[in-house]
């Protein structure tokens, strides 16, 4: 019986995968990687990564840099020949607003920047996971010394030394639709990138320390000023995580083309590689408009590209809830987000889940039918069997 069930599951799974893959041929981009565009020598203070993802009629420019405050920029243009130009002397002065441009400027559809501004720590004396007023002095990520960028394909890793441990930012850009191998196994498309933040081996300043991360987003036409929380389906990809946060523009008037977003499942992991039992919920504060000085304070990449007219919004992502182990327990935390343009990818029931449901609902029916037929046949043979002999 179990074997037939498996056969059914395999068959239905195959049919559904065929329907899914033929129905939506995924959009692909040609991805190429360039370090320090237009510079003859590696710049002091950290590399500037440029990933160009060319589509049929558009280009996504991903820029990633640890100069100043580490930041990721995503610029979407409606041509396939747009390029990045950097005025290096001004860029390196860390005071060069407008020293990095994407040209032609008229082709730009959307501009989104994500700034990793600060790492904060507090002593959770009563194990409530509520951020108190008195925190330990925050770690300003612009003051951290970052190692050289490690590249592998269209992925890059930046690590900085903090509190005898490290904070690492891991960026991946994708050519096509897919799903990450490791939890939280986020969905990605050719229009998104993924950033993972890892806090590895930091020495907490109290036994009951918890950490949280301050992020800032800069947007062009539609600033990222609101977070929508959606319920997600509890599937086999991220078991026991029910909520997805989508940090995007609350401006209903803007078209999907003009929008950027940052999306994450409300979970962090206390070990690497992540396992189910190491999952820990994460929470976020409401986006707050940051002061006019935010860009100047961020410096580096964000200041080089954005101008004072672009508004900056910030929020905090905190890890852990009341009663959960403190950072000290594993001395590790990882959190992953998707950064992209257009409409955020949404989870649907996977072919596997659909197949299981189909089998779950279908198999009893089939058994009922087969049972009915069997009973009929038996009855008939019984009737014939009892035919009078004489
Ligand atoms: C973009 O600019 C760089 C130099 O800044 C140049 O090497 C490259 O060929 C240009 N690419 C395109 C597609 O124009
Ligand atoms: C990607 O590159 C291949 C080969 O270089 C080319 O045939 C194809 O048209 C390109 N696709 C896009 C979307 O630029
Ligand atoms: C920054 O640049 C402006 C003009 O571009 C200049 O007036 C100012 O002195 C510079 N500040 C620093 C700290 O270099
Ligand atoms: C690109 O967008 C700009 C402004 O949105 C528009 O003026 C231009 O015609 C567009 N170009 C193409 C090739 O679609
Ligand atoms: C911890 O709990 C004690 C007793 O309930 C209370 O007096 C104290 O203010 C609490 N500390 C914090 C940081 O909440
Ligand atoms: C970070 O560096 C700036 C100067 O670059 C300095 O003014 C500030 O005090 C430093 N902050 C911390 C927390 O070290
Ligand atoms: C990605 O962007 C392209 C160009 O804007 C669009 O045609 C395509 O549908 C998008 N794909 C997804 C999966 O959002
Ligand atoms: C937690 O940190 C304290 C020092 O702050 C240390 O003595 C203790 O052993 C740590 N606990 C664990 C489980 O690592
Ligand atoms: C993050 O939390 C800290 C401490 O509570 C607070 O000072 C800061 O303003 C918060 N940042 C944002 C962007 O809300």
How does DSSP assign 269-328, residue by residue?
A: ESSSS--GGGEEEEEEPPPEEPPTTHHHHH-HHHHHH--TTS-EEEEEEEE--TTSPPHH
In a domain, 125, yes or no: yes
In a domain, 275, yes or no: yes
pLDDT, position 20: 46
| Ligand 3 contacts CB of residue 95 (under 6 A) | yes
In a domain, 216, yes or no: yes
In a domain, 66, yes or no: no
pLDDT, position 167: 97
Q: Which helix (H) or strand (E) holds 376?
A: helix 351-385
Task: Quote the CA–CA distance of 36 and 65 in Å, as a whole number.
Answer: 10
Q: Which helix (H) or strand (E) holds 92?
A: helix 88-92
Relative to the CA of 55, which ligand 2 atom is closest? 13
> If we measure between CA atoms, which residue out of 173, 52, 36, 58 comes closest to residue 108?
58
Query: Which ligand is closest in space to the CA of residue 48?
Result: 1
- What are the b/e assignments for 38-58, b being 16+ CB within 10 Å? eeeeebebbbbbbbbbbbeeb
Beta bridge pairs of residue 245: 229, 264
Distances (CA, A) of 105 to 76, 77, 84, 361, 379: 11, 9, 10, 55, 81
Decide if 89 contacts 114 (C-beta within 8 A).
no
Beta bridge pairs of residue 83: 103
- What are the b/e assignments for 122-142, b being 16+ CB within 10 Å? bbbeeeebeeeeeeeeebebb
Relative to the CA of 56, which ligand 2 atom is closest? 13
Which residue's alpha carbon is nearest to atom 4 within ligand 2? 30
pLDDT, position 287: 96
* pTM for the whole structure: 0.84
Relative to the CA of 78, which ligand 4 atom is closest? 1
Q: Cβ atoms within 10 A of the Cβ of 93, count?
A: 12
| Ligand 5 contacts CB of residue 130 (under 6 A) | no
Instruction: Quote the domain boundaries for residue 142.
Output: 23-27+115-341
Beta bridge pairs of residue 54: 30, 59
* Residue 47: CA count within 13 A, CB half-sphere: 20
The CA 130 to ligand 9 mean position distance, Å, reads: 13
- E-state strands within 55-127: 59-65, 71-77, 83-86, 100-103, 108-123
The CA 207 to ligand 9 mean position distance, Å, reads: 22
Q: Which tokens go with 66? A: 């640890």
Which residue's alpha carbon is nearest to atom 7 within ligand 1? 38
Q: In a 3-state reduction of DSSP, which class is residue 352?
A: helix
The CA 113 to ligand 9 mean position distance, Å, reads: 19
In a domain, 332, yes or no: yes
pLDDT, position 204: 97
In a domain, 87, yes or no: no
CB under 6 Å to ligand 6: residues? 140, 143
pLDDT, position 376: 59
Beta bridge pairs of residue 108: 77
Task: Quote the CA–CA distance of 225 and 237 in Å, as a whole number.
Answer: 29
Q: Which tokens go with 111? A: 């501009």
Angle between helices 351-385 and 2-23 (to 10 degrees): 140
Per-residue pLDDT in tens (0 to 9) along the chain, 390 residues: 445 555 555 555 444 444 444 445 689 999 999 999 999 888 998 999 999 999 999 999 999 999 999 999 999 999 999 999 999 999 998 678 899 999 999 999 999 999 999 999 999 999 999 999 999 999 999 999 999 999 999 999 999 999 999 999 999 999 999 988 888 888 899 999 999 999 999 999 999 999 999 999 998 778 899 999 988 765 555 556 678 999 998 877 778 888 899 999 999 999 999 888 899 999 999 999 999 899 999 999 999 999 988 999 999 999 999 999 999 999 999 999 999 999 888 766 565 556 666 666 666 666 667 766 666 566 555 544 444 444
The CA 371 to ligand 2 mean position distance, Å, reads: 56
pLDDT, position 355: 66
Which residue's alpha carbon is nearest to atom 1 within ligand 3? 95
| Ligand 5 contacts CB of residue 125 (under 6 A) | yes
Counted domains in the chain: 1
In a domain, 55, yes or no: no
| Ligand 8 contacts CB of residue 328 (under 6 A) | yes
In a domain, 261, yes or no: yes
Q: Which tokens go with 266? A: 């409300």
């Amino acid at each position: 019986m179990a074997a037939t069930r498996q056969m059914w599951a395999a068959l239905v799974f195959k049919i559904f995968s065929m329907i899914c893959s033929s129905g939506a041929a995924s959009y692909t981009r040609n991805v190429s990687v360039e370090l320090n565009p237009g510079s003859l020598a590696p710049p002091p203070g950290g590399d500037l990564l440029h990933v160009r993802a060319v589509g049929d009629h558009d280009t996504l420019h991903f820029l990633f840099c640890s100069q100043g405050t580490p930041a990721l920029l995503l610029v979407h243009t409606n041509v396939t020949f747009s390029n990045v130009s950097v005025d290096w002397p001004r860029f390196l002065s860390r005071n060069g607003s407008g020293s990095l441009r994407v040209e032609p400027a008229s082709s730009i559809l959307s501009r989104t920047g994500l700034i990793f501004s600060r790492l904060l720590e507090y002593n959770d004396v009563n194990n409530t996971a509520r951020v108190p007023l008195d925190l330990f002095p925050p770690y300003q990520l612009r003051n951290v010394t970052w190692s050289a960028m490690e590249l592998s394909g269209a992925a890059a890793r930046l690590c900085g030394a903090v509190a005898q441990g490290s904070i690492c930012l891991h960026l991946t850009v994708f050519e096509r639709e897919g799903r990450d191998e490791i939890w939280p196994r986020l969905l990605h498309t050719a229009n998104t990138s993924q950033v993972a933040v890892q806090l590895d081996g930091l020495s907490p300043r109290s036994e009951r320390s918890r950490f949280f991360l301050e992020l800032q987003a800069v947007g062009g036409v539609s600033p990222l000023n609101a977070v929508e929380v959606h319920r997600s389906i509890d599937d086999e990809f991220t078991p026991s995580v029910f909520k997805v946060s989508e940090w995007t523009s609350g401006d209903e008037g803007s078209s999907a083309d003009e929008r950027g977003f940052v999306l994450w499942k409300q979970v962090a992991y206390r070990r690497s590689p992540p396992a189910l039992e190491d999952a820990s919920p994460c929470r976020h504060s409401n986006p707050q408009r940051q002061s006019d000085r935010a860009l100047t304070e961020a410096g580096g990449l964000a200041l080089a590209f954005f101008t004072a007219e672009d508004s900056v919004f910030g929020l905090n992502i905190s890890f852990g809830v009341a009663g959960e182990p403190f950072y000290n327990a594993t001395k590790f935390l990882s959190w992953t987000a998707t950064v992209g343009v257009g409409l955020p990818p949404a989870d649907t029931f996977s072919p596997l889940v659909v197949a299981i449901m189909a089998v779950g609902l279908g198999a009893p029916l089939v058994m009922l039918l087969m049972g009915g037929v069997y009973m009929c046949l038996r009855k008939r043979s019984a009737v014939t069997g009892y035919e009078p002999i004489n």
